Structure formats: C-alpha cells, structure tokens
Structure 1
C-alpha cells in the first residue's frame, strides 16, 4: 500500500515571497526571471544498483534556487538530490517543487517498486513501533497516564519539558487517556481511535474545527481514515511523520514528532506548536495494557529536618493550604529565636477543611530505631476557636492541635492505612515544642510508610486559622 505526504501550498507561497522580496524594488539591478513551468522541472530517477528499493532523485532544472521533495512514502527532503526508501511494492508519486528567481513550479513522476524488500521492514524501530510483520493487527499505544511526566511543555530546543510536567493522571477529566494510537507495518497504516473526542491545545483548536482560546480543552472530533506513518532520519535525529494532518492524542497543530526514545515498551516524543514556534510539547506512551514495573523503595531511615531558615532535606507540598516557608518569626524569643519560620494559613470554607502540608520520600521508613519527631509551633490567640462550622462527623471548631500522620504516598487512598498522632497546644501566643513518638510496636513493624503529613487546626471544620511552625526534625 502506498501513501502520499502532501506539502502545503502555503509553504511554497511563503518561500516564493521570501525569494521575491529578497530582490528589493528599490534595487535598479533587480530583474525577475520568467516564471518557471511544470514542463521545465526535470529530475532523474535512479534505483540503487545493490537495492532497487532505494531510489536516488536528482534535480536537473536550470536556475533552481531551492528544491523541495515529497518522496511519496511519507518522507520529505530539501536539496538538489534526495534518496527515497520504498520497502513495500507499489506505485509512489514523487513530487519535486523548485524555486527560481521568477517563482516556483512542480512536477511529479510515478516510481514503481516491483518487489517488497522484507529486509528493509525488519528494522528494530519498525518492530518496536508496530510489533513487526508477525503482528497483523498492529501495535496500539496509549498515553502513560500513571507516569509523572507523560505530558510536558518547554522551550523547543530544550532536552526536557522545563516549564511544566504533568503529574500522574493530571488530565483525567480530559479526552486523552482513552485515546488509542495503532501503528501497523502492513501498508504503514496509522489509526487514531479517540472514542469521539480529542484534547487540544487551545491556541491551535481551529485546526480541528474548534474555537481558538487560551486554555486547552476537549472537543468532539472524528479522525480521518487512511492515515499513514513513516520514520525519517534528518541531521542525526529520527522523526515520526503522520499523513493527513494526523497527530498523537494531544493536538498542537503538528504531524511530525521527534523520537526521543523508542523501545518495546516506551515511545517518548517531542513535537512543535503551530501557534508558537518556541514551544515544544512532550508525550510519553506505552503499549495498551502495559504497566511500567515499579521498583521497590529501600527500607531505611535517614535524617529528616527543616528549620525554614535554610532549605531542609525534604520538599513540602500542600493540599488546600497556603504555606510560606520562610516567614519572619512573629516572636523571636526563647524557645525559638530563629529569624525565619513557616507560616501555615488555613483558609475559610469547606474547600479548605483538609488543609495540610506533606513530603514524600524515596524510601520506606524504618522506624525500629528512629521514630520520634519534634516540631515547634506558635498558635496565635487572635484565631477564632469558638465559632463552629464544619462536617457533622468532625469537631466543627478550629482546634489548638497539631497532627502528624505517616502514610503510604504511593497508595491511591493514602489515608486508609495511615498512622496518626495528635498533640494539643495549651499555650497561645508563645512557642511550644511538641513530641510525636511513633514507637508503638504496631507502628514500628509497618513497612509501607513513605510520606509525612503535618496538619494544624484539625480537619473537617470550615474555620480559617494562621499558625507558625519551626524546627521540624526526626530525633537521633
């Protein structure tokens, strides 16, 4: 089966304008040559002597300033000579467009390939992408939604998505995680099954009949049939090209993807942004039904400390909480004279009833020898501890309380098997130090804990509060 990759006419027009404007009207010596015609465009077709499925094309058109090739197999090239690879028997339409001082013109020739060269199809990259010749139905890929970094954006020239990288399942509400991309070696067919809708880059949505807007969104879309794929090598890089404006899962207006990694179980790509040439988009895919093996975390315990004056050895994340990690100490007197502390702000209302800060670790906690945590806390008396508003199952008051929880951060519901210690604060407007001892036998024997959660003011209440924290540490 053959396939043709068309080159848009607007590109030719743009290049022509560039050539014409290079000859300024103010230049008295600037003279435009006669416009070329299709009959003037000449090129030779020469099969390689050692492999007739490799064909060399040479432009022989006088006055050519630029030559652009559509090789009819999904590949394109620029220059007076190009080489096309045609592994599968069939007829391929090769188009040459030449640009001269007078304009541009196009000519085509049909290249007939007598026999399929199976050896050319038995390539590692083809086999990884399609499952090989023995997989008649092709190989289906999906976005690796559980993997942090399955989508990303950054400068087009960067090695990694520096601006944004998607957390696991970050786009679960959009029409992308059920999209299936199937690549078949038979006829180099590409099938995109989006189950009725597609997640689009808002700036480029008009390319799929949507409305351009600043935010990304999901729109109804029916992919075309008869799409094809090809792998092209240019300047030491490999690219995956798709025909008929084809794309993979997330629409950015591009049909070419740089192949950053292609193995049996991973396809990592970078593509361009049609509305902003400076942006690059990253996509990570895995075969449908495949789950990446999870390496078990080591079982150990290391120093854990943060005094909020300098960076500690843990990274805090927040949930429904405003956290300022370096805030002027509101009372720099004993027992805490440090200049900076953390300000913990719980906002008003139901959306903030579970405000907390937490940190994940690359190992599971071994609590058998070190299991005592300490923290200093300052509870201002100006907080409202009397108004009641909250869930019926909870204490509806803002509490003078600090809770430390240890959880399995890899669990979908980390609170189910958590261990928690609560300490009451009976002195307001002064620093106090609280101790949390997780030395109980049933806790020390747990081997699934790798997250620390700090929660102040209780949970389930809708009352706002401001608190200050300092010198969080695991005792020696």
Structure 2
C-alpha cells in the first residue's frame, strides 16, 4: 500500500547508520524475526531530493514505519517528505509470525525545500510561511455538532451531537490552539483547565466532575507541543506530539483525521487504536471568525408517517445507544398483520440508560391544527423487567412497559428541559396495541423540530427489545 506523507519538523544535523533489534520470542505465535525481515532501502526522488521513496522486499506480513518527523506508515513502499534540512532517524518494524525486528537508518537532508509545504492543508492550518505568528483556532461552540461521538465509518457524530453552547463553563470553550509553521510549534492555551471524558478523569490530578453530567473539568497547562500533517490514501491526518491533544480529551491517540479544512473551519475526528467502531468528532473555527447567521427554519407542518414495509417519509436518527431497523413482524396477527415492523433496541448498561431514536425535522412544527400521533407498539415478555439498576434520581429501578413520544427543540443545549411528553404506561405483553399521543397542550409551541421515541423507560440500565409500527401524524380534526 502506497502512502505519501508531508509532515515537517526542525531537527539538528548528524550522520549515522544504526541497526537495532527488537525481538518477540513468543513460541506459541511463531519463530523469532531476523534483521533480514526488517531490511529496507531508500532513494531520493530524482527531481525532489527532499522526497524519499522507501522500500522493503522482505516477506513480513506487516511493516510499520516511523519517518523521524512525526509521520508513520504501513506497507512495503511508503514515501516521506522532508521540507527542512537535517538528519532524521527512520525505523521500520517487521512482523513475522510471533516475532518482530526493528531496524533504524539515519538519513541526511541537505537543503530546505519549503515548496513541499505550499499546500492548502498547511496554509489553512497555520496561515502559511508569511504568518510567523501562526493561526489560532477555537472550538466552534455556536454550531450544533461541534463535538460528539459517532461511527468511525461515518462523517457525523450521530450517536451524540452536542447542541450549540451545550458545554459552556466546562473548561473547553475558552481554550485556543495556535499552529505555527516555523518549528512545527503548537501552543495550546487552556486558561488552566480542559474538558475530559468520564473514563479518564482520574488521569488528571485535581479533576472534578462536571455539574449534571459524568465528564470532568481538569487542571491542565501544557508546555509547548509539536504537530505534523500526513496524507494517506487521499486522507489527511493531524498528529499532536509530546503526548498532547486538542479540544475534548477523549483518551484517544493524538492522531486526528481531517474531515475538512478551510481558511476558517477545521473538522476532525479521532479513532482509538483497537476501537475502530467509533470516533470522537470536533469542530474548530479560526479565532475571530463569525458565521453569517443561518436563515430561520420554516414554521409549518407536513405529513409524518412510516410503516416499515417501504412506505414512509421519515429518517430515524439513533441516540444514546438506541436503534431501530426494519424487522420481521414477531406477531403478524390483528391488529397488525404487516410483514415488516420496526425493531427498537435499547442498549444495556449506563450507556443505554437514555436510549431513544429521533426524527429530526428540517422545520419547526406548526402544531395548531395537527398535533395527534398514532403508533402501534409490541412489548415482548422475554425482556428482563425485574433486574434493578439505573440512575439514582429515577423513581422506578427496572425496565418498564412504557412507550413515550416527546417533542423537543434540538437547537437548545438541553432539549429535555423544554420538551413535551406523552407517555403510556403498563402496556400489555406479547400483543400489538395502538396508542394515541395527543400534543394539544403544545399546540401553541413554535420551537419543536424533533420527535423522540423512547421505549422501556428512561434512566434504566437494563437493555431491551421492542417493536413499533404504523407511526403517523393524523390529519387535522374535522
């Protein structure tokens, strides 16, 4: 696999060639690797001597490279670029069976070649060679989705997407990050504290838990750090050196995939090695950049319906480890003989305590004449309705035979505080029931743009499977 890297660093001059071994002698996995497995050569590009082509012809099943300039790669024939003169130690580790072997060679770059940095990614991130003070970025706090978690294969934090200004006062919005081209310098101004994922609060001395949440506000005043950019298979990556990070500390490795970058906006995500299924997303803007306010969404009402057999006009957005998908009807008998229904899954554990699925509308709902929904629900008996466990504030402690529809304004930092909910309790087991959700009490509200479906109750750690069908906003009463 060919990878092209365009990082840069400012290193001192020396000349050496070193071979070193790193052996893994696990006899259950295979024999010990040898120096021949990790032998490699390098050749400067004919018209660009600061661009080096590396090559290894060994039969090792995995070859990992570190180019000595902050960039890494895997494969048989990667390429690295060195914009500045200096001496760079390049290591390649070859993996054969249960063993590995590492060789190191030191390459000399004789002259600077700043043309290697005249790329949009470098210019946009730092301001370019003429901006000696670099460019400063801040969290794009006023935009929904400026931080959150979602699938690594996606482009959006669909599992949790922070509303605008949702994390005010938690040590993140007053931070700024300055990237300088000269010396690959990164200056992280934290104003004394940062916002830290719940799982890593103990790694920061003096961290305190945030109010009304599980994450932490932690003291942090980093020394000057370094950065590098690399490109692989058409994707660009930002690596923070010296054990640093930027923005929200999620515990992930300090390598961020750049989803998009412009002179004013930077959109990145981080994926923890070994956790390829999810990623943390973050949005930054150039300090001083002010967005033009978007036009207000229309205020209207339209048909809303789905039957999971193919007819429908809604898209469901999973939230808080809740999900829904078309599924074979578990009980195709009256009152619901449909072939397909919606299988709703509430994830177990604390991560699924607030599971739901949402219909996020591109308009504000006009509920004055149409405000009644109908939905069929099936509550299986095989769920666990007896095991206790949940949030301390919840009055019930077990999975419930509940079905809830909520109307929310997702533009707010905490949409649940102004929501309107219609809840049906103690539903029968193993039979379809048709429920009516009347929101006449919210008919005068002009802010709602999200329909939330929640089954099994809220704040409970027991997971469950439920089924829904034939969701519809009814016509206006005659």
The equivalent position to 1:43 in structure 2, one of 37, 40, 44, is 40
The yes-or-no answer on 1:56 pairing with 2:53 is yes
Give TM-score, length-normalised by structure 1. 0.59
Tell me what 1:368 maps to: none
Q: In the alignment, which of 95, 98, 116 is matched to residue 99 of structure 1?
A: 95
1:46-445 pair list within 5 angstroms: 46-59=43-56, 64-101=60-97, 103-206=99-202, 208=204, 215-225=214-224, 227-253=225-251, 254-273=253-272, 277-297=276-296, 304-305=366-367, 306-310=369-373, 316-317=408-409, 320=417, 323-325=420-422, 340-342=437-439, 358-360=445-447
CA distance in 1, matches of 2:132, 2:111: 20
State whether residues 139 and 285 of structure 2, in contact with CA within 8 Å, keep that contact through their aligned partners in structure 1.
yes
In 2 relative to 1, CA 239–307 (structure 1 residues): closer, same or farther, beyond 3 Å?
A: same
CA RMSD, 1 decimal: 4.0
Per the alignment, residue 2 of structure 1 pairs with 10
**Greater RCO structure (CA 8 Å; 6+ sep):** 2
Report the Cα distance in structure 1 between the residues aligned to 2:441 and 2:27, rounded to whole angstroms.
Answer: 64
Task: Report the alpha carbon displacement of residue 87 of structure 1 after superposing the two structures with TM.
Answer: 1.2
Alpha-carbon distance between aligned partners in 2 of 1:275 and 1:69, rounded to the nearest angstrom: 19
CA distance in 2, matches of 1:361, 1:307: 13
Deviation at 1:239, TM superposition (A): 1.3
The answer as to whether partners of 1:202 and 1:212 remain within 8 angstroms in 2 is no
Deviation at 1:308, TM superposition (A): 3.0
- TM superposition shift of 1:137: 0.6
Give how far 1:340 is off. 4.5
Distance between the aligned counterparts of 2:420 and 2:205, measured in 1? 42
Matches of 1:200 and 1:275, distance apart in 2: 20
TM-score by length of 2: 0.59
What is the alpha-carbon distance in structure 2 between the residues aligned to residue 210 and residue 3 of structure 1?
Answer: 36
Query: What is the Cα deviation at residue 153 of structure 1?
Result: 1.0
Give, in whole Å, the separation in 1 of the partners of 2:444 and 2:107: 65
| Secondary structure at 1:204 match in 2 | helix
Judge conservation of contact 1:204–1:274 (CA < 8 Å) in 2: no
Listed one character per residue, the Cα deviations across residues 225-258 of structure 1 (whole Å, up to 9, x for unaligned) are 3x22222222332211121222111112221111
Q: What do residues 259-289 of structure 1 show as CA deviations (whole Å, max 9, x unaligned)?
A: 1110011001111246955331110000111
Change over 3 Å in CA distance of 1:321–1:49 after alignment to 2:
closer
How far does residue 344 in structure 1 lie from its aligned partner after superposition?
A: 5.8
Q: Per-residue displacement from partner, 1:34-58 (whole Å, max 9, x unpaired)?
A: x536x98432221111100100122
Counterpart secondary structure, 1:203: helix
Mapped partners of 1:321, 1:292: distance in 2: 27
CA distance 1:178–1:21, shift in 2 (3 Å): farther
Aligned to 1:115, the other structure's residue is in SS state coil
Q: Which residue of 1 aligns with 2:324?
A: none
- SS in structure 1 opposite 2:125? helix
Q: Deviations over 1:59-110 (max 9, x none)?
A: 35x5634221101121111122221111122222111122234622222222
Deviation at 1:114, TM superposition (A): 1.6
